[in-house]
A and B are shown apart, each in its own frame.
Chain A
Amino acid sequence: MWDGLIHALPGVFAWQNVLAMIVGVVGGIVIGALPGLSATMGIAVLIPLTFGMEPLVALGMMAGIYNGAMYGGAIPAVLLRIPGTPAAVATTFDGYPMAQRGDAARALQISCLSSAAGGGMSALALMLLAPPLVLVTLLFGPAEYFWVALFGLASVSVLLGKDPVKGLISAGFGLLLATVGIDNVSGHERFTFDSMYLTGGLHVVVVLTGLYALPPILMLCEDAAKRAAGEGMAVLRASAGLFYQWTSFIRTWIRSSLIGIAIGILPGAGGSLAAFLSYNEEKRSAKNPAAYGKGEPRGVAAAECGNNADNAAALIPALTLGVPGSAVTAVILGGLLVHGLQPGPALFRDHADTVYGFMIQMLLTSMLLVFFGGVLASRIFANVLRIPPAILAPCLLALCVVGVYSVQDSMFDVYLMFGFGLIGYAMDRLGFPLAPVVLGVVLGGMAEMNLRMALIIAQGDNWLLLSSTVSQIIIAMILLVLFVPLIRHLRERRREQRPAE
């Protein structure tokens, strides 16, 4: 392994490959920052262009796009409360309040450093621990995935907002949306209204862009009417520098990286779950949980570190077993196949220079994020807030339409986005939180399908759902997440009542 890594180094530092990584990172940041465009699409479009390239040039660009886009999603999440990618939803919770306070640049720098930290840790795990970690992947079958999905859904409690009833209604709406499409187990069409465009289900990017991007745009429009032309929206305070107090995030980064890596090696879960769980854990273990959601820098750090830590780890089952953990890794796998690189143990033997080179590129592109994301992008992108709403709103709308159209080259998706935009606007105005909807869409299908597969496999012996050690550990974690806050709450209430007795 060390031999492989050292042998691969000269190839990685050839000038074409360095250039490819830089192009990839910058391109990825832009792709991630634009609502509707995601790393999956960026890499998919890139693949035909790489047909004639050297494998490491192609892979360097893919690594750059992958890591860049995961951070890029944070930029509009912080500035405008529009997550650029599904994994950036949790970044809005504290990132946007920070920006409103004038700390946009600071929030972007924290996002960037945290993304780099998470991506770096994840790349190290890929390089050094792939063989043992892939064994962990194999411990998870449908029953275990069902419990993982439930664990994710249990974290909904932190997303509920001020009014738990409204929060639960939002989550229920999300779960309902997840049922649209052909039921994979029985083959029935559900809520498709005989439209073939709905048989494949609702694409999470379409729902997300509608719910999250359109309401702020509409509000910008309202704002534009009130403000004089030429006036920007927010005060921008100068930031104290990229590495200001970075050591205070080390604990957060370690926790979130571990969560992100754990989610990454499980096929099917993905970066948004990693970000939600990291945020949840950060808030749960914090001394000041009340500050979260109001602009706590550690919340931003946890979410961004968690979603980038998913990246390289998701490549572990993809490279070693040919089992891609997400849409992005599936596309990257396609990119490898185009260059004659078949996943599996032989990949590490027969194409060691390329595959170890790719791992190093995953690490290096995470580091490049610090420079291109932190030094350049934060400075440039934070100025978006200086653009008058009357100009910004139509630009954003055009970007959303293009982005959503490009997901499946479908106008139907664009109309759907507008529909969800109106729903999102109404929900926002009526005080229904939007994050539980996204969580429901992402995890609803995963929970349902895995439960049903597990029941088919159990063949009537339903205790099998609880039989494995992994299942039991996850169930214990679910119980902890659900009941610890309740017990803490009851104890506090008793303490408050005691003086009165």
Chain B
Amino acid sequence: MPVKRRVVLSATALGMLAAPGIRPGSAQSWPSRPIELIAPFGAGGGVDILARTLAPFLERHIGNNARIGVVNRAGAGGEVGFTTVATARPDGHTLGIVGAPAFLTIPHERQTRFNFDSFDFVGNVETDWMSIYVASNSPFQTIQDFVDFAKANPRRITVGLSGMGTATHIATLLFVRAAGIEVTMVPFPGSAQSRAAMMGGHVNANTFGVGDGAQLVRDGEIRILGTMGIGRSDALPEAPTMREQGIDVVAGTDRGLAAPAGTPPEIMERLSGALARTVADPEFLAQARMRGILLNHMPRDEVRAYLATKNEEIADLWRTNPWRQ
């Protein structure tokens, strides 16, 4: 017991000592050391490439000799990285790329050390709209063919996904709800296998992003029946949206810059300004285009409301149709 008490006491003492450190003074002295930019997925992937493309431009536009190091914290579908950002000291020296819907779905699915309110969002950077694809020799020429067949044959159409709870799954759930149909969803261990199975005729359709499918659509290897975008995607402007075709559904993946909740407002303002100047920087725009980053900048005040709506939508899906008991 005495040992335990000593531990508790010293922990409290440490906490008191650390308390003034939580507000490391003014935003003027920020950044006082290198900023860690957490990429919650492994090196070489889309999130990593986004983080490493952003970092030098953010450094330039923050000024004050800012130094940003990208740190990969992969694992558990992004959970390890999201937790790292959410539980970091909110002093502006830890930032992260957070991806929706991943960081929104995980807290619904299981016990986590973070939730929606653990983050303060600097802004959204990239959005790829989810879309429904079929093989080029599929009888479904339009989304109407697809919906008509599904209505006549409930659950007969198989749709390949890249796993339960992923963006592809959420989008498919929203799509079938909006279209009033039922399909059989097949969760593959990744998008690559899912796509191959569609091209080989093992599943009837697939849900994944426009950015991933644009080239194959242009090559005539696969057919896109509609994107779930608010508007048409820059990656494939000829592809119509679902809304244009009378199905009211919007779904995609968003990647944005976030800090732990409680980061001083002055620092958040400066970050948000730096991000706005970055996405207007012609050099950044050129690099983003070459690397296939689908820019969709949303400033700080806008992104929070946008993500909150998404979070509500997922909470509602989870309530009505939990994909895991």
Contact = CB atoms under 8 A, between A and B. Distances in A.
Given A138-B200, A409-B73, A459-B184, A187 B164 contact: yes
A317 B110 CA distance: 35
A189 interface: yes
A459 B168 CA distance: 21
A267 B192 contact: yes
Contact of A408 (B75, B163, B196, B324): B75
Given A138-B199, A184-B163, A408-B75, A196 B216 contact: no
Contacts, number: 160
Contacts of A10: none
B212 A322 contact: yes
A199 interface: yes
Interface in A331-372: 331, 334-335, 337-340, 342-347
A267 B193 contact: yes
A485 B218 CA distance: 51
B43 A199 contact: no
Interface stretch (B77-85, B238-246, B259-267): B77-85
B196 A267 contact: yes
A457 B74 contact: no
A200 B290 contact: no
Contact of B43 (A45, A141, A182, A340): A45
Interface string B160-198: 000111000000000000000000101111001101110
Interface residues of A, number: 58
Nearest to B79: A196
Residue among A43, A139, A200, A410 with max Cβ neighbours from chain B (10 Å) = A200
Interface stretch (B44-52, B57-65, B88-96, B269-277): B44-52
B52 A323 contact: no
Given A186-B324, A449-B189, A197 B80 contact: yes
Nearest to A346: B219
B311 interface: no
Contacts of A184: 163-164, 187-189
B215 A340 contact: no
B221 A44 contact: no
Contacts of A129: none
Nearest to B289: A340
A412 to B, nearest CB: 9
A137 interface: yes
A363 B80 CA distance: 39
B52 A51 contact: yes
A395 interface: no
Contacts of B165: 187
Contacts of B199: 138, 321, 323
A47 interface: yes
Interface in B143-174: 155-156, 158, 163-165
A324 interface: yes
B215 A47 contact: no
A342 B289 CA distance: 12
B187 A340 contact: no
B23 interface: no
Contacts of B218: 344, 346
A158 to B, nearest CB: 27
Contacts of B80: 196-197, 408, 410
B28 interface: no
A5 B46 CA distance: 30
A138 B199 CA distance: 7
Interface in A292-336: 317, 321-325, 330-331, 334-335
B112 interface: yes
Given A139-B200, A188-B324, A200-B77, A44 B43 contact: yes
B111 interface: yes
B49 A185 contact: no
A290 to B, nearest CB: 39
B305 interface: no
A194 B110 CA distance: 9
Residue among A186, A188, A457 with max Cβ neighbours from chain B (10 Å) = A457
Contacts of A473: none
B109 interface: yes
B69 to A, nearest CB: 12
Given A139-B200, A323-B195, A47 B44 contact: yes
B292 A340 contact: yes
A321 B42 contact: no
B294 interface: no
B195 A321 contact: yes
A285 B156 CA distance: 46
A320 to B, nearest CB: 9
Contacts of B216: 321-322, 344
Contacts of B196: 137-138, 140, 267, 317, 321, 323
Given A409-B73, A453-B186, A321 B221 contact: yes
Contacts of A324: 192
B33 interface: no
B75 A197 contact: yes
A445 B190 CA distance: 13
Contacts of A139: 200
19 contacts: A44-B42, A44-B48, A51-B287, A137-B200, A138-B196, A186-B164, A187-B109, A267-B192, A321-B221, A322-B212, A322-B215, A331-B43, A335-B44, A338-B290, A338-B291, A344-B218, A344-B219, A345-B221, A459-B155
Given A51-B287, A456-B184, 10 more contacts: A44-B42, A48-B49, A141-B197, A188-B324, A196-B75, A200-B77, A322-B212, A344-B221, A346-B218, A449-B189
**What 7 A-B pairs are tightest by C-beta distance, nearest first?**
A141-B202, A187-B324, A138-B200, A44-B44, A44-B43, A342-B215, A199-B76
